[in-house]
A and B are shown apart, each in its own frame.
Chain A
């Protein structure tokens, strides 16, 4: 009841901060053009053509995109990534062997 004015002010400020924090948006970059593409050769970077991404209930995302540089060619530029932001894994890449299929069969394109 006899709380110091400073405590009351602190409480009021806290409520104001809380009000503004409610619904505040926190953004995080998962991948963007020009960044090194994880799991690929040095200087292989995300290009563009990011697919429609999805997210699961533990915050892991999945998307496909194109990479360039580092020896990537038209036939090896399409890639599929998944994982938490900051720890993405290369799931599959065009030109790599497609498991369970006859030798010489490779991924070609990943659809969103």
Chain B
């Protein structure tokens, strides 16, 4: 902003949000920072992380606090906020314990990539990525992925974690940036059910360039679910299998349903696949997440009914013909 009270190094930058005709100031450099110790101010890195706003008018954004005030220094000056526009709440701060990690493991510095991606869904859920530091942290496990209600985000995946659905010893290396062939969005998909879909780079025994990427859905209840992996056979229908090619998974990892996206709010994914025989296709994948109150009924029903003849059940995965 410009104006009579503006000093470039003190209060020039601000974040605004609201409706047309009702925009309001959310935060401004030099102002007292929400959630900060007394005397703590918003710092220069206003808008360090692209803000996200949802259909309920809630906002999430990254910020820095001014160092040298209220005990703030370079080890704890970067923060994430979320909540109503008029009263954002502090949800994560550099130097604070990272949930779901070993004692002593904390959110790391912005230079290491704190808040790489920040997304807010329409249910008030938040997804963000952060580097972590601590006694057991190495370059192989220093990036973590968090999601959940903005007041209580949880660890959903971390570099170095075992990759479920894949032989033992294979681990996550990192999230890939979007569509492998460059045609997809470059984010992680985060839906209103709190699910996150993203392409994961893999490493470990037996992993080569031909099978080092898999698409996972991280479900708040079911955990990480492998959808498809390069180099593995995939049932294209009728019990016919093709092997997914290197660079063969094309997934549109838009932030949420405000963007073109490969994941919808009902947990349905759509993915393009290319196979080693130079054929390809478009496929949907859905994971069943029954409501807790209907679990018993579903379970009883499942125990009494055989799968319909048009379905094929193999290893816990079902195909609809």
| Stretch of A15-23, A72-80, A91-99, A102-110 that contacts chain B | A15-23
State whether the Cβ of B285 lies closer than 8 Å to any Cβ in chain A: yes
Shortest beta-carbon distance, B278 to chain A, in Å? Answer: 6
* Contact status B237-A32, CB under 8 Å: yes
Contacts of B281 in A (CB 8 A): 29-33, 46, 50
Residue from B227, B273, B302 in contact with A25 in the complex, judged by beta carbons closer than 8 Å: B227
The 8 Å CB contact of B319, one of A17, A26, A59, is A26
| Residue with the greatest number of chain B CB neighbours at <10 A, chosen from A13, A14, A31 | A14
Does B293 make an interface contact (CB < 8 A)?
no
Interface size class of A (residues with CB under 8 A): 35 or more
Please measure, in the bound complex, the distance between the C-alpha atom of A11 and the C-alpha atom of B304, giving whole angstroms.
11
Judging by beta carbons under 8 Å apart, are A55 and B268 in contact?
A: yes
Q: B299 contacts A17, CB within 8 Å?
A: yes
CB pair B288–A29 under 8 Å, yes or no, is no
Contact residues, B297-312 vs A (CB, 8 A): 298-300, 302-303
> Is A26 touching B288 in the complex (CB atoms < 8 A)?
yes
Interface size class of chain B, counting residues whose CB lies under 8 Å from the partner chain: 35 or more
CA distance A112 to B269 in the complex (A): 17
The distance from the CB of B158 to the nearest CB of chain A, in whole angstroms, is 19
Alpha-carbon separation in the docked complex, A51 to B274 (Å): 10
Smallest Cβ-Cβ distance to B223: which chain A residue:
A23
Closest residue of chain B to A49 (Cβ to Cβ) is: B280
Q: Are A53 and B270 in contact (CB under 8 A)?
A: yes
Bound state CA distance, A33 and B252, in angstroms?
20
The reply to whether A24 and B318 contact each other, CB–CB distance below 8 Å, is yes
Q: Is B286 an interface residue (CB 8 A)?
A: yes
Residue B11, interface by CB 8 Å: no
B288 and A50 contact, CB distance less than 8 A: no
Closest Cβ–Cβ distance, residue A40 to chain B (whole Å): 16
Q: Bound state CA distance, A54 and B260, in angstroms?
A: 6
A38 → chain B closest CB, angstroms: 13
> Is the CB–CB distance between B252 and A21 below 8 Å?
no
CB contacts (< 8 Å) of A85 on chain B: these are: 284
- Beta-carbon contact of B257 and A57 below 8 Å: yes
From A17, A23, A29, A33, B222 is in contact (CB under 8 Å) with A23
Does chain A have a CB within 8 A of B271? Answer: yes
User: In this assembly, does B166 line the interface, its C-beta being within 8 Å of a C-beta of chain A?
Assistant: no
Q: A101 to B285, alpha carbons, bound, how many Å?
A: 38
List CB contacts (< 8 Å) of B264-292 with chain A. Answer: 264-266, 268-274, 278-290
On whether the beta carbons of A17 and B303 are closer than 8 Å, the reply is yes
Contact A10 B300, beta carbon cutoff 8 Å: yes
Q: Is A90 an interface residue (CB 8 A)?
A: no
- Of B183, B250, B284, the most chain A CB neighbours within 10 A belong to B284
- Among B250, B290, B299, max chain A CB count under 10 A is at B299
B303 touches A13 (CB 8 A): yes
Tell whether A28 is near chain B: CB-to-CB under 8 Å.
yes
Find chain B residues with CB under 8 A from A17 CB. 299, 302-303
Measured CB to CB, the residues of A under 8 A from B are 10-11, 13-15, 17-18, 20-34, 46, 48-57, 59, 61, 63, 65, 85, 112
Give 11 new A-B contacts, CB below 8 A, not counting A15-B299, A17-B303, A25-B285: A17-B299, A20-B316, A25-B227, A27-B320, A28-B285, A28-B319, A30-B284, A32-B281, A48-B279, A50-B250, A54-B252
